[in-house]
Amino acid sequence: MLSALGFPGRKGAEALLKATENIVAAMQKYRVYRLICLAPPPKKEGWVRRGLLGRLLAPFLGTPGVNAWEQQLDSIRGLPLEWVLVRPTWLTDEPARGNYEVSVGWAEVPEGISRADVAAFMLEQVQGRRYVRLSPVLGG
């Protein structure tokens, strides 16, 4: 199952959580065991945005919308599913380059990655096992 639900903002937090509940319930009903979920850049896992963009966004990392995302991701992490929480840095509309960096630890990745590259990475996770139960950060 691939999920690319958008950022909810202040008013959509409840809808995001309910949508995730519905997705997981349907997955369990139909015995689908892998969830690849698009998520925002991490705020709790030690990965820090750098540069001007990072400093500008830092005050907003505790907003209700971001907190809803974190609540959603925490609920996914607790499920008995195979999951991959894909966390791109800054999404761009550029064409896919097929060349980007992936970090699952403290290593920073370059800011910005095309939506097409993120989509390709997510599709690779349908069969790949390398990032199962991890939250890779993409940039490039």
What pTM does this model have?
Answer: 0.80
Q: 107 CB contacts (<8 Å, ≥6 apart)?
A: none
Burial 47-72 (b: 16+ CB within 10 A, else e): bebeeeebeeeeeebeeebbebbbeb
All structural domains of the chain, each given as residue ranges with its CATH number in brackets, are 2-139 (3.40.50.720)
Burial label for 26, CB within 10 Å (0-12, 13-18, 19+), is: exposed
Task: Work out the pLDDT band at 56, boundaries 50, 70, 90.
Answer: low
Least confident of 39-43, 48-52, 82-86: 48-52
* Measured CA angle at 28 (ends 26, 29), to 5 deg: 65
Q: Is the pLDDT of residue 124 over 90?
A: yes
pLDDT for the residue numbered 111: 87
Q: Write down the pLDDT at residue 59.
A: 55
Residue 27: closest CA among 2, 55, 63, 49: 2
